[in-house]
């Protein structure tokens, strides 16, 4: 449907690489939805040009420049910069429903069925399952909700310093109100599960539809040798995301790099 979209965010060229792979992964799995990427002013011209070829809409969000309530909120909470930028997705009111996905996620199957869910649907966070993980969530753009979120942010801040703390504070009944708003973990499978619950990963991991490279080290932080098809660097860390890291790099090399030439 034309009025539904996947949305991601990249404030710099590193996260833009993630957004490129994410966009390509959604296209490869033949999504029928629009693709939107929110970018910050620090994203280079080259990255913007590549994103233009993969996304239907590349939208510049400059919270510092906006001269509106977001700017005011930002002045009061400078610590929450990227968070305010992410909340901007609620202003995409030319869509009725959207699915936000972090730039460090990758679709490994078609996930258009997520649009059957309502705001705010998300999967449990592996670290604290009564909180949802804000790397993948279903929402309904609305200027009213956007205003309320900014207000919440300014008044209460974020208990974890990021968007996940704000969103869990605002949508605080997620854990108990409606089980249909709990997305199965396979829609936001973080590789953390591989070492926190290996038997479950062995049992269910093959069903994963979205992989989330949550944490400090992102796929683009590693060096990759395209000839040997091997990821270099901290091998122990890399081995906790077995094939997915290679899949991310192989998409990057085969589908994204050629666009940069």
Q: What is the rounded CA–CA span in Å between residue 21 and residue 256?
A: 7
Residues 211-240 within binding reach of ligand UDP (CB under 6 A)? 214-215
Give the CB-nearest residue to ligand UDP.
102
Q: How many C-beta neighbours within 10 Å does residue 126 have?
A: 18
**CA-based nearest residue to 31, from 129, 133, 101:** 101
Over the window 103 to 132, marking each residue x when it contacts Mn ion by CB under 5 A and - when it does not, the resulting string is -x----------------------------
Provide the H-helix boundaries in 99-241: 143-156, 163-170, 174-177, 192-196, 198-204, 235-238
Over the window 83 to 112, marking each residue x when it contacts ligand UDP by CB under 6 A and - when it does not, the resulting string is ---x---------------xxx--------
Residues 213-242 within binding reach of Mn ion (CB under 5 A)? 214
Stretch touching ligand UDP by CB under 6 A, among 2-10, 111-119, 173-181, 245-253 = 2-10
DSSP codes joined into one string, 90-151? GG-TTSSEEEEE-TTEEESS--GGGGGS-SSEEEEPSS-TTSEEEEEEEE---HHHHHHHHH
Distance in Å, CB of 140 to ligand UDP, minimum: 20
Answer for the pair 121, 181: CB distance below 8 angstroms, yes or no: yes
Distance in Å, CB of 227 to ligand UDP, minimum: 29
**Size of residue set near ligand UDP by CB under 6 A:** 14
**CA-based nearest residue to 131, from 169, 97, 103:** 169
Distance in Å, CB of 16 to ligand UDP, minimum: 8
| 47 touches ligand UDP (CB under 6 A) | no
| 163 touches Mn ion (CB under 5 A) | no
Contact with ligand UDP (CB under 6 A) among 5, 6, 7, 8: 8
Q: What's 116's DSSP letter?
A: G
Residues in contact with Mn ion by CB under 5 A are: 102, 104, 135, 214
Q: Which residues lie near ligand UDP (CB under 6 A)?
A: 8-12, 15, 82, 86, 102-104, 135, 214-215
């Amino acid at each position: 449907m034309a009025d539904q979209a996947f949305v991601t965010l990249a404030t710099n060229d590193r996260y833009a690489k993630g957004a490129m792979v994410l966009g390509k992964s959604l296209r490869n799995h033949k999504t029928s939805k629009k693709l939107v990427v929110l970018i910050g002013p620090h994203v280079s011209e080259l990255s913007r040009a590549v994103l233009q070829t993969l996304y239907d809409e590349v939208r510049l969000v400059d919270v510092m420049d906006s001269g509106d309530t977001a700017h005011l909120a930002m002045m009061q909470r400078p610590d929450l910069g990227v968070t305010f930028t992410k909340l901007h997705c609620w202003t995409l009111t030319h869509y009725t429903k959207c699915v936000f996905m972090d730039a460090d996620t990758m679709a490994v199957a078609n996930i258009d069925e997520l649009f059957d869910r309502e705001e705010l649907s998300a999967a449990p966070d592996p670290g604290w399952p009564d909180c949802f993980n804000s790397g993948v969530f279903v929402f309904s753009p609305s200027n009213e909700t956007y205003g309320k979120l900014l207000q919440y942010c300014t008044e209460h801040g974020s208990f974890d310093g990021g968007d996940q703390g704000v969103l869990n504070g605002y949508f605080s009944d997620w854990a108990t109100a409606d089980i249909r708003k709990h997305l199965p973990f396979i829609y936001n499978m973080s590789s953390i599960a591989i070492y926190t619950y290996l038997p479950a990963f062995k049992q269910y991991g093959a069903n994963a539809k979205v992989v989330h490279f949550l944490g400090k080290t992102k796929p683009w932080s590693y060096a990759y040798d395209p000839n040997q098809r091997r990821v270099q660097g901290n091998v122990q860390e890399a081995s906790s995301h077995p094939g997915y890291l290679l899949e991310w790099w192989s998409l990057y090399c085969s589908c994204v790099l050629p666009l940069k030439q």
